[in-house]
């Protein structure tokens, strides 16, 4: 897997969302597209949740089992994805969240997607195929209420996915696979902003009851 910088992530995300490339940066690692913003993606007729690919810039506050953190990140909402492997039903939306380098980053970095097909929209380039369309979560959507609730499907093999968060284990900074938990998102009435929570449990492939990642976030629509 190759994980680009935050600005490169924004450029890749905008490209994958069909919005064109981004420009420079703010100097603090957050993207700052120079091109004029295109028309807003459509919202579902029944509520504020975007019906087309949409990107939000996040502020994330939380703690892992190691320490607290405050950082920026990105959340992408995509239409339902056809999948080759699923036992948990078709997702009404696909959701992905990323902050920092999910493999080698500092405390609070994370990557999670409801379907591995979302990874390219988060700037994650997979070196090999085989898990391109793996549905790894249950996704509940309340269109009128503007909420999405994601629950990790504990029956889906998680090895080979990049749903991870890194944490220092006393020897090295290592990625922990996300094996359990929820992601909740509440959209504003106009779909321009959101807020939500993350509660995940990780494993190091040895200790299934591993470290935790808990956070609250808020965000604004970028594209």
Q: What is the pLDDT of residues 108-166, one digit of tens each?
A: 999 999 998 899 999 887 654 444 688 999 999 999 999 999 999 988 876 667 899 98
CA 214, CA 219: separation in Å to the nearest integer?
Answer: 17
- Quick count: other Cβ atoms within 10 Å of Cβ 129? 7
Positive or negative CA dihedral for 63, 50, 74, 114? positive
CA 191, CA 49: separation in Å to the nearest integer?
Answer: 6
Quick check: pTM over 0.85? no
Residue 42 contacts residue 50 (beta carbons within 8 Å): yes
Q: In the numeric block, which tokens belong to residue 213? A: 């990642």
CA 112, CA 102: separation in Å to the nearest integer?
Answer: 9
- % the chain with pLDDT above 90: 50
**Highest averaged pLDDT of the listed ranges 19-23, 37-41, 73-77, 101-105:** 73-77
Residue 211 contacts residue 191 (beta carbons within 8 Å): no
Residue 166 contacts residue 144 (beta carbons within 8 Å): no
- Quick count: other Cβ atoms within 10 Å of Cβ 140? 16
User: What are the residues facing 31 on neighbouring strands?
Assistant: 25
Which residues are within 8 A (CB) of 170 and not within 5 positions of it... i.e. 6 or more apart? none
Residue 65 has pLDDT above 80, yes or no: yes
Residue 183 has pLDDT above 90, yes or no: yes
């Amino acid at each position: 897997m190759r994980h680009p910088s935050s600005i490169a992530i924004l450029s890749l995300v905008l490209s994958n969302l069909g919005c064109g490339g981004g420009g420079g940066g703010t100097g603090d690692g957050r993207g700052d597209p120079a091109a004029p913003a295109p028309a807003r993606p459509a919202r579902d007729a029944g509520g504020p949740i975007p019906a087309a690919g949409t990107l939000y810039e996040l502020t994330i506050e939380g703690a892992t089992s190691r320490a607290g953190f405050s950082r920026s990140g990105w959340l992408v909402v995509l239409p339902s994805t056809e999948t080759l492997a699923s036992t948990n039903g078709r997702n009404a939306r696909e959701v992905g969240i990323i902050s920092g380098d999910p493999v080698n980053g500092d405390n609070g970095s994370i990557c999670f997607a409801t379907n591995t097909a979302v990874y390219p929209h988060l700037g994650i380039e997979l070196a090999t195929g085989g898990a391109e369309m793996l549905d790894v979560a249950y996704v509940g959507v309340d269109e009128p209420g503007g909420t999405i609730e994601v629950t990790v499907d504990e029956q889906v093999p998680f090895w080979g996915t990049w749903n991870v968060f890194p944490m220092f284990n006393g020897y090295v900074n290592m990625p922990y696979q996300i094996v359990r938990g929820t992601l909740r998102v509440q959209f504003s009435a106009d779909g321009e902003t959101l807020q939500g929570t993350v509660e995940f449990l990780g494993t190091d492939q040895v200790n299934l009851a591993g470290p935790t990642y808990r956070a609250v976030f808020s965000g604004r629509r970028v594209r």
